[in-house]
Chains A and B, each alone.
Chain A
Amino acid sequence: MDAGQDGGGTPAEWRSVMIDLSGSALADLVATDVAEDDDSALAHALRRVTAELERPGEPIAGFNSAI
């Protein structure tokens, strides 16, 4: 989410830091360089995805769904 949306109030539209790459070819993404200090949308999305890997905690969300 964009930082500006966490300042209170309800926006008309919620905008994610993630970008839609569903129409992109993997080969094109592999060929695209992204520097560590890159401020592009792709760089932000990449950091978002890789940051998830570094978060502490278990990947298991559901457990003991006894019914």
Chain B
Amino acid sequence: MSPRHFTLTDAAFASLGAGRPDPGTLGTLLRAQLSRNLLLLREVRRRQIAPAWFDRLGATGPDDAKHLITDPMTGLWAARALRAGDAADHPRPGGHRLTAVHHGLTLGVRVEDADPLREGFGLPPAEDHGTAALSRWQTLLDEAWLTLTSRHRPAAEVLAAVLRVIVPVRPDPAAEGISATSSEAFGAVALSAPADAAALAVGLLHETQHSVLNAVNLLFELVHPGGPAGYSPWRDDPRPAAGVLHGAYAYLAVTRFWRAELAHSGDRGAAFEFARWRVAVADAAGRLLDGGELTAAGTRFVTALRAEVRPWLDEPVDGEAVRLADLARTDHHLRWRLRNLTVPPEHTAELARAWRAGRPAPAVPSVPARGTGRALENSPRLRLIRSHLRNPGTAAVPDARDTAGDVACVRGDRVTALHAYHRDLREERDRDPAWSGLALVSPHRGLRCRPEVVKAAALAVPEADVDALADWLSG
């Protein structure tokens, strides 16, 4: 046995980093995943785990055997079996076959609604997969595929090559859509039922991009392990550099999708999404390149990623869409800081002493808050932004969940929003949505940059005026 090492030319590797793998590169990734599954199964077999599975495999023809070995759920099963040192037999893939064909390109996927390994995606599997639910998936898949093959052909070709399994998961009431990918199940994505075909198209692009990056990670170390967790524009919890890279790579595909949709339709929602994510991807790539945690391969990969998105920053986009995109991005960052960072008690006490003594504000650190963990927390302002986008030229229609500050903030009325958030904080100081809202419209740099510090001081000195504190901390 003298197998060859996998190789990619630098040009092919850079195209992969730019999210534009050519067919040859995709073939390399697919063969690498088959090689991975073969090696995992070798280990499972040699440890005499689940011998019945191998007996069945031996009884199938070579094509069927290869198909079974490359199945995403087989990869997941083998990895779990080895980690546990034991495993139940794994049934042959069941589920329901869905197919979409447009413009000469076929997408064939299995909706996996029975395999117990569906839990391996970390999200609760959906329960109802009767005829109506499957029919809905088929309809949306057909519509999404028409969009993808007609206006996003290269991305559609990647999907056709990689995607094999969709695992429906329960929607989360706190999120507009949830989805997940397991690094151990190449070609499988977990998705909640999408709202429409565009949501499905974007969800599939996004999650498949994670699968592609997982395949790259198998071939090449991109990030040195063990670095600290930090800000990611796509998550509410702190993420390591590898996680930030996953987000940037997935949202590169999402940004490209909305860019093409904007060019096609001029739609304001597409303009918002494009404006929102192009900056987030470029910024995240820049932080990765500056962070010192990328390997040589990772640096090459992310350099190509940033070079892909950078020219998009200069493309003209409707001004109101850009304003709302900036608002949504800043809102996320501020909420992230308030959720995940805090000022240690001894430094908070120091702030209080300095304020009461009339001294300048001392420098204090922000440190990770304990026990924040993973969460889904969509901002109420994001909902208002979407409403604003859907009804251009009219005021956002508030519902019972909306505060006067949020409505004014999204409308662009900073003065009204400022007064409203101050009023909210006079009623209750420990209210993060009001703090992040205030930070969005505040003239004080200290509050805009480090809201967690102003909040900590305001809680420690309840008699102080919040605006005066923010001014003091901005000095």
Contact = CB atoms under 8 A, between A and B. Distances in A.
A59 B83 contact: no
A45 B35 contact: yes
A18 B6 contact: yes
Contact of B32 (A9, A18, A32, A61): A18
Contact of A67 (B65, B225, B254): B254
A1 B374 CA distance: 31
Contact of A16 (B7, B120, B175, B250): B7
Contact of A63 (B57, B180, B382): B180
B212 to A, nearest CB: 11
B69 A62 contact: no
Contacts, number: 187
Interface stretch (B130-138, B199-207, B395-403, B419-427): B199-207
Nearest to B35: A21
Contacts of B279: none
Could you say which interface size class chain B belongs to?
35 or more
Contacts of B408: none
Contacts of A55: 225
B177 A65 contact: yes
B250 A62 contact: yes
A26 B42 contact: yes
Chain B binding surface, main DSSP class: helix
Interface in B171-207: 175-184, 189, 198-199, 202-203, 206-207
Interface string B235-250: 1100010110010001
A16 B12 CA distance: 14
B297 interface: yes
Interface string A33-56: 000000001100110111011010
A62 B180 contact: yes
B38 interface: yes
Interface string B26-46: 000001101110111111011
